[in-house]
């Protein structure tokens, strides 16, 4: 059913390339929508996402999901994303795999510090700005990622197709997870670096994980990712692609299976001569 609901995306193309030159050689399509449970209460989406070109033409993607129980979870998610992306994009070099993992940890530390400072200015606690955070930094030949909380990052490996990079962190109960504001968050992050040759991938919040992943093992569900990864690889107009992805996230076939906020960032290497 998921593969059928995604098949229409493949026909949403534009005749002229309009993806930002500043992201070359990458195409990125991303969208966030408020979950139906939040819409019924008149609440805004508490997810956030961001991306940028990093050192050595690497792609940086961040996705965060503000805690529903936190009074300023949405603000926390947006601040965590912007702080981490800015830090990683301003590095001069990628360095070794260990250096890449260290940089992701440093980005997490800076996001935590930013939340603590902003909470102080607002007169609230850091817990009131609780959020998850997924960071991914990709090159055509490698991927490094860090995750605190649920959601996941997936890459389209040249040899193996959709391949999990990170997996959801859950507690004793299915709806429990870790937030970067937790006192022990620095002891429980997932941090990985792999030498995959890749053509693209996806980062998404937990609202999609029951559709996108085989649970409880947390491995990618190929019928979900196949059409999506082909869609971003074939897309040529960023505005139209973003709108099409937003429409997909708001479609009954998706919202009928999850009431949570939804965020999905898709990326692909541009295979055209202009993207080389």
Residue 2 has what pLDDT?
46
pLDDT one-digit tens code per residue, 7-59: 445 444 444 446 878 899 999 999 999 988 878 777 789 999 999 999 999 99
Instruction: Let me know: does 212 contact 204? Beta carbons within 8 Å.
Output: yes
Q: How far is CA 180 from CA 79, 93, 128, 170, in A?
A: 12, 26, 12, 14
pLDDT one-digit tens code per residue, 59-109: 999 999 999 889 999 999 999 999 999 999 999 999 999 999 999 999 999
Residue 212 has what pLDDT?
95
- CA-based nearest residue to 205, from 163, 161, 157, 169: 169
Instruction: Let me know: does 148 contact 133? Beta carbons within 8 Å.
Output: yes
Please name the helix (run of DSSP H) or strand (run of DSSP E) that holds residue 51, with its range, or none.
Answer: strand 47-53
Of the listed ranges 124-133, 143-152, 265-274, the one predicted with least confidence: 265-274
What is the pTM assigned to this prediction?
0.92
Residue 275 predicted with pLDDT over 70: no
Domain positions in the chain are 22-205
Residue 273 predicted with pLDDT over 50: no
Mean pLDDT of 221-240: 93
Residue 240 predicted with pLDDT over 60: yes
Residue 271 has what pLDDT?
67
Residue 18 has what pLDDT?
67
Q: Cα(53)–Cα(44) distance, rounded to whole angstroms?
A: 28
Of the listed ranges 1-15, 125-139, 232-246, the one predicted with least confidence: 1-15
- Mean pLDDT taken over the chain: 89
Q: How far is CA 208 from CA 4, 65, 73, 191, in A?
A: 16, 12, 19, 21
Q: Is the model more confident about 134 or about 169?
A: 134
Residue 135 predicted with pLDDT over 80: yes
Query: Domain 22-205: which CATH class?
Result: alpha beta
Please name the helix (run of DSSP H) or strand (run of DSSP E) that holds residue 237, with its range, or none.
Answer: none
Instruction: Name beta bridge partners: 264.
Output: 31, 204
* Long-range pairs for 166-175: beta carbons < 8 A, 24 or more residues apart: 166/134, 166/190, 166/192, 167/213, 167/218, 167/219, 168/206, 168/209, 168/213, 168/218
Residue 171 predicted with pLDDT over 70: no
Residue 42 has what pLDDT?
74
Band the pLDDT of 234: cuts 50, 70, 90.
Answer: very high
pLDDT one-digit tens code per residue, 187-216: 999 999 999 899 999 999 999 999 999 988
């Amino acid at each position: 059913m998921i593969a059928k609901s995604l098949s229409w995306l493949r026909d949403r193309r534009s005749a002229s390339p309009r993806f930002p030159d500043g992201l070359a050689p990458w195409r990125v399509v991303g969208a966030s929508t408020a979950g139906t449970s939040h819409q019924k209460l008149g609440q805004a989406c508490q997810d956030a996402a961001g991306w940028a070109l990093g050192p050595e033409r690497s792609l940086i993607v961040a996705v965060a999901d503000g805690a529903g129980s936190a009074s300023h979870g949405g603000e926390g998610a947006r601040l965590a994303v912007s702080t981490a992306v800015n830090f990683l994009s301003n590095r001069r070099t990628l360095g070794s795999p260990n250096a890449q993992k260290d940089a992701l940890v440093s980005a997490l530390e800076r996001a935590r510090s930013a939340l603590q400072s902003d909470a102080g200015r607002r007169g609230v606690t850091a817990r009131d700005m609780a959020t998850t955070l997924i960071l991914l930094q990709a090159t055509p030949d490698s991927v490094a990622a860090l995750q605190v909380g649920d959601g996941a990052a997936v890459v389209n490996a040249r040899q193996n197709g959709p391949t999990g990079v990170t997996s959801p962190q859950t507690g004793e109960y299915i709806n429990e997870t870790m937030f970067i504001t937790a006192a022990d968050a620095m002891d429980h992050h997932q941090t990985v670096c792999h030498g995959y040759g890749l053509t693209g991938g996806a980062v998404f919040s937990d609202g999609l994980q029951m559709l996108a992943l085989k649970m409880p093992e947390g491995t990618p569900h190929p019928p979900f990712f196949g059409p999506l990864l082909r869609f971003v690889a074939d897309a040529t107009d960023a505005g139209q692609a973003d709108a099409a992805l937003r429409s997909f996230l708001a479609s009954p076939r998706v919202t009928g299976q999850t009431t949570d906020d939804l965020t999905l960032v898709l990326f692909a290497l541009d295979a055209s001569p202009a993207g080389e």
